[in-house]
Amino acid sequence: MDVVNPATGERVDTYETQTEEDVDAALDRATDAFGEWRERPMRERERLLESAGDVLRENKREYAETITREMGKPITQAVAEIEKCAWACDHYAEHASSYLGADHHPSPPGSTVKTVYEPLGPVLAVMPWNFPFWQVFRFAAPYVTAGNVGLLKHASNVPGCAKAIEEVFREAGYPEDVFQSLLIPSDLVDEMLEDDRVRAATLTGSGPAGRSVASTAGESLKKTVLELGGSDPCVVLDDADLDAAAETGAWARNQNGGQSCIAAKRFVVVESVYDEFLDRFVDEIDSYVVGDPMDEETDVGPQAREGLMEEVHEQVEESVEAGANVVIGGEPMDRDGQFYPPTVLTDVPEGCPADSEEVFGPVAAVYEVEDEAAAIEKANDTQFGLGATVWTEDRERGENLARQIDAGCVYVNQLVKSDPRVPFGGVKESGYGRELAEVGIKEFLNEKTVWVE
């Protein structure tokens, strides 16, 4: 696996790809490790997770630079990603015991009935490159602490991140093979899913990848959790704080180079404030510094790979050919590296790529609609259902509209984000299952009823 710095186009490292025989040996080790790990007292697992958080903080600059070098995230955002991973470790180190305590049920006199939560075994995680540490810790912090063992198949352009994450667990003092990173091609994933030693799987990625994992795992009756794509609406109503909506909305679209499933992608604005919002929105985006991701002043770095930038540009070109108007941006930047400028499209026709597809880059589609009812209709006019935002000064109105939007999470007067304290996941083509919070840690457990007479 070659690591190519997307900011320069230079190859910076090479990693040896593991083979089918390596996978078989790793599965044997994972099975053996699970037998011992599941018996560890919960408090010991929590202490180890707390140590993992400490390792992340102690080495955050080093890990952040690995992220930036491999996929181009601006360094300040990469440091923040590592800090967020440490926060997830802190959260489950503090709350795992209470989340997984036995639930007692009504029962006849003289009997005791309860539900206990037991781990399943080795869990395969197929993870993406866009948040190469956070996506993994969102899986590993709860599931491994619950007593499962982790097998990571990371994206092929971030092998250094995959090995660094394995290092975090090793440095924190985890038993060997409780967490393993496998540098394998995607064509070995199906074989792992079919193997009896793998008990469950989770994937964050594209719709086609999710369908493939779900289909193969389903043939073996293995549970999966899928977090797939999104085309999140950002609804701006007539009573919104337009400065806040424009500032936060612009960042929600462009952080991480726009390469986020939960980025605000479709801005649905009522006509009475449309012109004023658009002006402020474009001014905010125009202020962003696009450049070297290792520079602390950079807001937007390169797209993670050459092919990814080309795909974004093709979607923009096809949308413009269909009638969309480019307000700002719209062409690859004339410089080394995979740099695409923050772009705003208006007059976006129904059915064009910017309207109907997930655009995984810094491209915002802005719509003018008549009123609140039309805004909600447009917000729901998508195959996706990951997140959404609503901007209004009337919090009761915002909550009412949040209930009308088909999404796994809706934030009122705030950007969509994943937070260890609350469940995260989507509906429709954005996947199923939930990560984080209490419901997340219970996804890959046997909820066993124990009746004692």
Q: Which two tokens stand for residue 327?
A: 């307000």
Torsion, CA 163, CA 206, CA 250, CA 355, rounded to 10: 170
- Residue 214: pLDDT above 90? yes
For the CA atoms of 226, 344, 301, 169, what is the dihedral angle to 10 degrees?
Answer: -20
pLDDT at 82 over 90: yes
> What does the alpha-carbon distance between residue 383 and residue 357 come to, in Å, rounded to a whole number?
9
Closest CA to 237 of 416, 396, 369: 369
What confidence category does residue 106 fall into, taking pLDDT thresholds of 50, 70 and 90? very high
Q: What is the mean pLDDT of residues 182-189?
A: 97
DSSP per position, 5-25: -TTT--EEEE-PPP-HHHHHH
Local confidence band at 332 (pLDDT 50, 70, 90 cut-offs):
very high
Per-residue pLDDT band for 327 (boundaries 50, 70, 90) equals: very high
Residues of the chain with CATH 3.40.605.10: 2-228+428-452
- Give the residue numbers annotated as catalytic, written as ranges: 227, 261
In the Cβ-directed half-sphere of 84, how many Cα atoms lie within 13 Å? Answer: 21
Delimiting residues of CATH 3.40.309.10 domain(s) in the chain: 232-412
Q: How many CA atoms lie within 13 A of 127 on its CB side?
A: 28
Cβ within 8 Å of residue 167, ≥6 positions away:
none
Cα 320–Cα 326–Cα 332 angle in degrees, nearest 5: 85
**3-state helix/strand/coil string of 281-318:** HHHHHHCCCECCCCCCCCCECCCCCHHHHHHHHHHHHH
User: What's residue 237's pLDDT?
Assistant: 98
Q: Report residue 66: phi and psi, to 5°.
A: -65, -45
Confidence of residue 306 (pLDDT cuts 50, 70, 90): confident
Range 73-90 burial, b when 16+ CB lie within 10 A, else e? bbbbbbbbbbebbbbbbb
- Residue pLDDT, tens place only, 41-62: 999 999 999 999 999 999 999 9
Residue owning tokens 């909600």? 376
| Paired tokens of 230 | 């999104």
**Alpha-carbon 55 to chain mean position:** 22
- Give the chain's mean pLDDT: 98
Cβ atoms 201, 224 nearer than 8 A: yes
Local confidence band at 192 (pLDDT 50, 70, 90 cut-offs): very high
Rounded to an integer, the average pLDDT of 295-311 is 96
The CATH homologous superfamily to which domain 2-228+428-452 belongs is Aldehyde Dehydrogenase; Chain A, domain 1 (3.40.605.10)
Asked if 386 contacts 428 with a C-beta cutoff of 8 angstroms, the reply is no
Task: Classify 232-412 by CATH class.
Answer: alpha beta
Q: In whole angstroms, what is the distance from residue 257 CA to residue 151 CA?
A: 28
Where would I find the H helices in 72-206?
75-99, 134-145, 159-172, 189-194
Q: What is the pLDDT of residues 256-287, one digit of tens each?
A: 999 999 999 999 999 999 999 999 999 999 99
Under the banding of pLDDT at 50, 70 and 90, the label for residue 222 is: very high
Report yes or no: 367 and 335 within 8 Å, Cβ to Cβ: no
Helix, strand or coil for residue 345?
Answer: strand
Joined tokens for residue 385: 């259902």
**What is the rounded distance in angstroms from the CA atom of residue 415 to the CA atom of residue 66?**
27
Q: Please state, in angstroms and rounded to a whole number, the distance separating the CA atoms of residues 242 and 23.
A: 53
- Give residue for tokens 């994972």: 30
Evaluate whether 390 touches 398 at the Cβ level (below 8 Å).
Answer: yes
Nearest to residue 81, comparing CAs of 180, 186, 14, 158? 158
On whether the pTM is more than 0.85, the answer is yes
The pLDDT value recorded for residue 35 is: 98
The full DSSP string for 361-425 is SSEEEEEEESSHHHHHHHHT-SS--SEEEEE-S-HHHHHHHHTTS-SSEEEESS-----TTS-B-
Judge whether 430 and 283 are in contact, CB under 8 Å.
Answer: no
